[in-house]
Amino acid sequence: MKRRLCWLVLGMFLVGMLTMVVACEDPEPDEPVVDPDEEVEEEVDEEVVEEEEVDEDTVEFLSIVTGGTGGVYFPYGGGMSTVINRHVPYLRATAEVTGASVENTRMIAEETAELALIMNDVAYMAYNGIGEHFEGDPQPIRTIFAMYPHHYHVVVLEDSDVETIDDIRGKTVSVGAPGSGTEFKTDLVLSTLGISYDEFDVVRLPFAETGVDLRDGRIDVGIWDVAAPTSSIEEVTATRDIRIISFSDEEIDTITTEHPFYSRFEMEPGTYAGQDEPVVNPSVWNSVVAHEDYPEDYVYDIVSSMFENIDHLIAIHHFAEFSTAENTMEHAVIPLHAGAVRYFEEQGIDIPDELIPPEMQ
């Protein structure tokens, strides 16, 4: 009896040990397996870096003001902030959603932001103190580098009776968000062609809302001035067929003669679903700008980090391929910041006289 009891106890013990061994084995194949040697180590490293970067005693915080979430400015600015945070250890950057170019310019002038993404038509008029928004009030801004050109999208649904720019008269049109570069440019372009805001119903919506309202038929025409393709238009094409209105050669000549910071640009067929023909439109370049008094060393390090890590921005949007020193020299419309001048000179880039800022002459 005692012998049987001993064997029974021993058997229970062995079964328990076997259960513990099975429980400690690898999880079932359909369960996620974490590689502790890589992912845990990365998380620890990121936490350490973040703690160092947000130390207010050693780090300067900077705001990059961009645009709405439905355009390219916001992801581009987000990419810039990532590059800065990784490669300029004494700076901690954050990309901010804003109404875009006009609002961004004001924020730089008021020093409530450090870097801004703006369209060059806005930059030109702001620097020179001309136009409706800046008449007699020159803004103290300087170019950091040129980004990429915008396509001017005038978008309608496929079954719309709008065939030309003139046809927007009498329609409901989203001209862009208040204070945005799109609304600024729309006012210039349409007035140059003799089309007044009084001749159509004006609504001012951010890109994402413009796309939704166009898709749902609450507006007849949506206008975007953005790099192509842009997500808020692609979302419309997911459920509705669209057309993008092309400008005539005569219209382009009229616009570019009156406003030399615009140029003829052609959107390639297939940029958007169902777009089988090229679309001619007045293009404008975009630039990153800063206040003229923003520290030269900061700007030097920012420009250096951008151009040495441009592949990161290209991975976010292919239009970042246009962000080069050469394009900055060709397309900047206001003087460079002193820190940018220093960087480009060190790279052996010839800087046009008109891009040397007054404080360096």
Q: Which of 338, 271, 305, 249 is nearest to 89 (CA)?
A: 305
Q: What is the CATH number of domain 151-245?
A: 3.40.190.10
Question: Which residue has 């900047």 as its token pair?
Answer: 332
- For 253-291, write each residue's pLDDT tens digit: 999 999 989 999 999 999 999 999 999 999 999 999 999
Cβ within 8 Å of residue 299, ≥6 positions away: 144, 290, 337, 338, 339, 340, 343
CB 200 within 8 A of CB 171: yes
- For 319-332, write each residue's pLDDT tens digit: 899 999 999 999 99
Q: In whole angstroms, give the CA distance from residue 230 to residue 267.
A: 13
If you write DSSP's letter for every residue of 280-339 in order, what string do you get? EEEEEEEEEEEETTS-HHHHHHHHHHHHHTHHHHHHH-GGGGG--HHHHHHH--SPBPHH
Task: Determine the pLDDT at residue 30.
Answer: 33
Q: In whole angstroms, give the CA distance from residue 292 to residue 337.
A: 6
Strands 279-291 and 115-119: antiparallel
Structure tokens at 204: 């001012």
Task: Determine the pLDDT at residue 203.
Answer: 98
Strands 60-65 and 91-96: parallel
Half-sphere exposure of 27 (CA within 13 A, CB side): 6
How far separated are the first and last CA of the chain, in Å rounded? 108
How sure is the predictor about 295, in pLDDT bands with cuts at 50, 70 and 90? very high
Looking at domain 56-149+286-360, which of 3.40.50.360, 3.40.50.300, 3.40.190.10, 1.10.3720.10 is its CATH number? 3.40.190.10
Q: Which of 282, 265, 161, 281 is nearest to 221 (CA)?
A: 161
Residues of the chain with CATH 3.40.190.10: 56-149+286-360, 151-245
3-state secondary structure of 189: helix
Q: In whole angstroms, give the CA distance from residue 262 to residue 255.
A: 7
Q: In whole angstroms, give the CA distance from residue 126 to residue 105.
A: 8
How sure is the predictor about 41, in pLDDT bands with cuts at 50, 70 and 90? very low
